[in-house]
Structure 1
């Protein structure tokens, strides 16, 4: 894993300590990763996300060094000047594909997916520093996609509708999407005159990631598959497939 590019957010201003006062060590109060959302990575595009470390010091914070640590040796590090006296934001870039024309190793492999932790070292304007381990955690997950097809269209009221689809997820080892097997996926329905989907069944994907079930046609509306995600894989929703139900 190579170090990622650093985005400097700007140098924060400092407040001087009172005359004769001994400088104190800064305090790290916490960190927020990607605005509290999971970081979800596919197979073709770089993903950038911020990590904001918060803290305090009599003289104000000046610099932060952030390490991200994940499963199976996953590691990223970068630093940045603080944008305010109490907040310091770094920006990380991760990917699961080699850069075009580059011999650099791929940044992510499948084994890196899961829960990551954040360590932070902050420096104050008066040259004091403080290291804090495990100030935050976040999910770094493989992207998922799911498709849907409901047929026949149109269909007579009371007849059976067959709903199929396939759930795939990013494979960071091969840079492709592959079927996600043995996963529970919700079949949801939204009537034509409603904006709300309701779960009507839960189906497990087969050995290729495929989905299939039958339901009774009751009214016009949209059918979709909804995958809520796992510890290593992000959620996915299919666009609704409309079925016209006729008397």
Structure 2
């Protein structure tokens, strides 16, 4: 009789444990412990600052260009909304961003702002600070220095071909977009770097640096450096994009 009572007591204890088991936090009698959702590492720093980089938009006189707005946010922070405010010189633009994917644990939010030449003035060229804002487990903001630059173009000729009297002349014209008149106008006082790419030994060097005159024209003659591919370029400024010419072969 004592042995029977002991057996019944064991069965009762086992049944009690089975009834109590579902009350254990995080347990499931069918699948085992439930995997917890990853927590947001820092609700105040959701945006990936290294991946969210400034953009540069070069605008001419005819065609609308788009400023691409990209922000990357920690996927564990469950961002539900992202936006950008572009601080242009004469007004602000608000852009709602759309989630376009997730890569390596970061959500990619994207949008764009059309930039039309006919709505611009020359004084609008330069930095357009852009502030990204995301809302999720917390709120985070990041401001980057996007740029809107005036387009430029450069013509270039090296000759004559073939060279005569061991002399070569570099000539051409530098222009940049005027948003005030929607025309390209000569750009005065800029240095044009002429580079020679030598065929025989594969090296290159800057061989001349003429300065543009009134109307943006330039011309310079010098002793012929040798048979090469000649190319000209003008450096970018804070308001105007760099200009690059075609290549001219002279031997």
Root mean square deviation of aligned Cα: 2.9
2:214 is paired with a residue of what secondary structure? coil
> Which structure: larger Rg?
2
TM-score (norm 2): 0.72
Match of 1:65 in 2: 83
Q: How does 1:20-99 map to 2 (within 5 A)?
A: 27-30=46-49, 38-56=56-74, 58-70=76-88, 72-83=89-100, 84=102, 86-97=107-118
Aligned residues: 211
Shift, 1:87, TM fit: 2.7
Shift, 1:149, TM fit: 1.4
- Which residues of structure 1 form unaligned runs of 5+? 1-15, 19-23, 98-105
- Which residues of structure 2 form unaligned runs of 5+? 1-35
TM-score (norm 1): 0.73
Shift, 1:194, TM fit: 6.3
Shift, 1:147, TM fit: 0.6
Q: Do the aligned residues in 1 keep the contact of 2:58 with 2:150 (CA within 8 Å)?
A: yes
Q: Which has the higher helix share?
A: 2
Q: Do the aligned residues in 2 keep the contact of 1:26 with 1:123 (CA within 8 Å)?
A: no
155, 159, 162: which is aligned to 1:154?
A: 162
**Closer, same or farther: CA 115–216 of 1 in aligned 2, 3 Å:** same
Shift, 1:237, TM fit: 1.1
**Closer, same or farther: CA 96–197 of 1 in aligned 2, 3 Å:** farther
Higher relative contact order (CA 8 A, sep 6+): 1
Shift, 1:62, TM fit: 2.1
Q: How does 1:191-230 map to 2 (within 5 A)?
A: 191-193=198-200, 197-230=204-237
Q: Which has the higher strand share?
A: 1
Q: Do the aligned residues in 2 keep the contact of 1:65 with 1:80 (CA within 8 Å)?
A: yes
**In 1, distance between residues paired with 2:76 and 2:51?**
22
